[in-house]
Amino acid sequence: MTKRFVLIDRDGTINVEKHYLSDPDQLELYPGVAAAIRRLNQMDLGVVVVTNQSGIARGYFDLARLDEIHTRLFTMLEAEGAAIDGLYICPHGPDEDCTCRKPLPGMVDQAVADHHFDPRRAFMIGDKEVDVELGHGVGAVSFLVRTGHGPQFVESTKADYVVDDLPAAVNVIEGLLK
Ligand SMILES: [Mg+2]
Ligand SMILES: [Zn+2]
């Protein structure tokens, strides 16, 4: 049996939504997020972050700055014993016709190629309907969180589960795997 994976959106799900976060010092984790990711590690689930970063295409920040943000993110998580197996970004804008901008599956395809998991046995957690659509598209169980932009999608979402936040999603996953 291959390891199961949890696919997690970044902004509004792991860290507090700031409009086009462009400064590592603006990075702020939601409460309980690091502990929740640590629990996924302990449950022997893979953890991958999939994030649309059109701020690159829009010229708000560059890839070097994005790297600094992710170095700080990893440091903050590691400080609480939480580890991420992979992080995938779409740097493109909506009109670039790329294959990786959520809800398109390019980032998940790449993660599957790198980590060899079955996306139909994965879980997808995010605060926007594009995250839910990505999850459905690859056959994963999908969670909409009420942090970030979540509240505006709660009424119409096609998510399998609507939960308060990432730690709540991890609670549900823990129950599903029992
Ligand atoms: Mg988000
Ligand atoms: Zn892309």
Check if 160 is active-site: no
* 118 C-alpha to ligand 1 centroid (Å): 23
The C-alpha atoms of residue 162 and residue 142 are separated, in whole angstroms, by 9
Return the H-helix or E-strand segment holding 68.
helix 63-78
Whose tokens are 């009109």? That residue is 95
* 175 C-alpha to ligand 1 centroid (Å): 24
Q: Which CATH architecture has domain 5-176?
A: 3-Layer(aba) Sandwich (3.40)
* 16 C-alpha to ligand 1 centroid (Å): 9
Arithmetic mean of pLDDT over the chain? 97
CB neighbours (10 Å) of residue 161?
18
Mean per-residue pLDDT, 28-39? 98
Q: What is the pLDDT of residue 2?
A: 87
DSSP at 24 = G
Mean per-residue pLDDT, 125-152? 98
Mean per-residue pLDDT, 30-40? 98
Q: Domain ranges in the chain?
A: 5-176
Check if 85 is active-site: no
pTM of the model as a whole = 0.97
Residues in Cβ contact with 21 at an 8 Å cutoff, skipping those fewer than 6 apart: 11, 15, 27, 55, 69
Mean per-residue pLDDT, 75-81? 97
Q: What is the pLDDT of residue 62?
A: 96
